[in-house]
Amino acid sequence: MAKKRTHSTGPFRERAILVGVSVRNQGDYWALEDSLAELSELARAAGANPIESFSQTMNKPSPTYIGKGKIDELIHAVKHSEIDTVIFDDELSPNQQKTLEDKLGVKVIDRTALILDVFAQRARSREGRLQIELAQTEYLLPRLAGQWSHLERLGGGVGTRGPGETQIETDRRLVRRKLNRVKKEIKQVKSQRDQQRLQRTGGDAKIVSLVGYTNAGKSALFNKITSSGVIERNQLFSTLDTTTRRMWLESGTQATISDTVGFVHKLPPILVAAFRATLEETLEADLLLQVVDVSSPYAVEQAQVVSDQLIEMGIGDTPKILVLNKLDLVAENADDSLNLSVLDEIDVKEFAHVVTTSATKGWGISDLRNAIEAEAATMGTGSTPKLIGTEI
């Protein structure tokens, strides 16, 4: 018998089931249970209420993402628990999504759609909304075509004439027209950003950019370094719009420092492409401050995700300072003998310096500024990384 929902005076939250698959011998360093835990956080951020999770280990990918037996389990769970939405931990093909929706009888979305939804809720500026609109439209285009696949056989030839092709092409034309409009507007935004950068720096200042996993504390660090008032929230993707401030180092060197959008595991490529204008400060940076939440149980995996995505963006060789943030949370929860074991698992050789900080307590901020100063003075010399700051 299906469970009856309890009435609540709060906002409606869709009841969701999370589904993930691990394929043997794929070598993913991120464990499936950890990926599903993060998917649960994303679902809550989007306004859903994750009820339970399903996982499956397979020898090879399935055309339907999961096996027939697991689909039968899901069908039962959807009915028994009055589920509204089933969320899959990887991007589904249009055919996979349609097949699963037909079998489960409820809305099916994938990790990409979920991340896009969270971004859409967080976007505040015109630029941010344009970038989300671009990513969502590009995500929609192949799925829109899939919705009309049953009519494509009417496109031409004996016994196949009819309105199907016209409808498909009309929809595609409308979506492509929208894509062209949004891309044109984003191009204008990029041009304005380039002009603003030149006005700020005169083309000579060092460009420093904060990068890191979402909710690693980049905005809080940015505020401490620059005495700014960027919004700080303990939530995923609180920062979507790049904020840039001018800063002067003690040597008299002028620099700009930017707070940018956070990364996440399995970040959709279309989202990275759409946010290219926002990430421009990162792409043009002379120095990257890679921020890691050292208190997170997934600190090593999150650091690896960021490093991998920087490589995919073509900036893996940009000089970097590793910033181990939220040290206060480690200190509060650690015994006296604990050290930063995360350093044993992160390849620190790729970083010019390693600095420990707590943005909320103000720890290590002067150390971080000193590391920026030192790297600005010796840019590109390949100095040996060293730990700066508090060690516990």
pLDDT in tens, 106-156: 999 999 999 988 888 877 777 778 888 888 888 888 887 555 444 443 344
- Look up the pTM and report it: 0.77
> Rounded distance, CA 344 to CA 357, Å?
18
β-pairing, 206-212 vs 243-248, is: unpaired
> Rounded distance, CA 318 to CA 197, Å?
19
Positions of E strands within 241-339: 243-248, 254-259, 287-293, 320-325
Three-state DSSP class for residue 95: helix
**Mean of the pLDDT values across residues 30-41?**
91
- Lowest-pLDDT range, 118-127, 337-346, 348-357? 337-346
CB atoms within 10 A of CB 204: 7
Most confident option among 80-89, 205-214, 221-230, 239-248: 80-89
pLDDT higher than threshold 70 for residue 374:
yes
Most confident option among 58-67, 330-339, 378-387: 58-67
* 290-311 tens-digit pLDDT: 999 998 888 999 999 999 888 8
> Rounded distance, CA 74 to CA 77, Å?
5
pLDDT higher than threshold 60 for residue 388:
no
Per-residue model confidence (pLDDT) at position 184: 84
> Rounded distance, CA 239 to CA 291, Å?
14
Strand order of the sheet with strand 14-23? 48-58, 14-23, 85-88, 107-110
Residue 336 — pLDDT band, cuts 50, 70, 90? very low
The tokens for 366 are 């002067």
Residues 142, 96, 177: CA angle, nearest 5 degrees: 10
**Mean of the pLDDT values across residues 86-98?**
93
pLDDT higher than threshold 50 for residue 266:
yes
What is the chain's alpha carbon radius of gyration, rounded to the nearest angstrom? Answer: 24
Per-residue model confidence (pLDDT) at position 112: 92
Higher pLDDT, 99 or 158: 99
- The distance from CA 231 to its chain's CA centroid, rounded to whole angstroms, is 18
Three-state DSSP class for residue 209: strand
> Which DSSP helix (H) or strand (E) runs through 342?
helix 342-345
Higher pLDDT, 324 or 157: 324
Q: Which residues pair with 88 in a beta bridge?
A: 19, 110
Per-residue model confidence (pLDDT) at position 312: 85
- What percent of the chain is predicted at pLDDT more than 90? 35
Per-residue model confidence (pLDDT) at position 194: 66
The tokens for 91 are 């991007």
Three-state DSSP class for residue 264: coil
> Rounded distance, CA 24 to CA 46, Å?
30
pLDDT higher than threshold 60 for residue 383:
no
Of 213, 210, 212, 275, nearest to 247 by C-alpha is: 210
> Rounded distance, CA 346 to CA 341, Å?
9
> Rounded distance, CA 316 to CA 308, Å?
8
Of 320, 368, 370, 376, nearest to 221 by C-alpha is: 368
- Lowest-pLDDT range, 3-12, 45-54, 108-117, 252-261? 3-12
Q: What is the mean pLDDT of the chain?
A: 79
Residues 317, 131, 318: CA angle, nearest 5 degrees: 10
Higher pLDDT, 67 or 123: 67
Per-residue model confidence (pLDDT) at position 347: 83
The tokens for 74 are 């899901």
**Mean of the pLDDT values across residues 219-231?**
79
pLDDT higher than threshold 70 for residue 219:
yes
- The distance from CA 272 to its chain's CA centroid, rounded to whole angstroms, is 8
Positions of E strands within the chain: 14-23, 48-58, 85-88, 107-110, 206-212, 243-248, 254-259, 287-293, 320-325, 353-356, 387-388
**Mean of the pLDDT values across residues 246-253?**
80
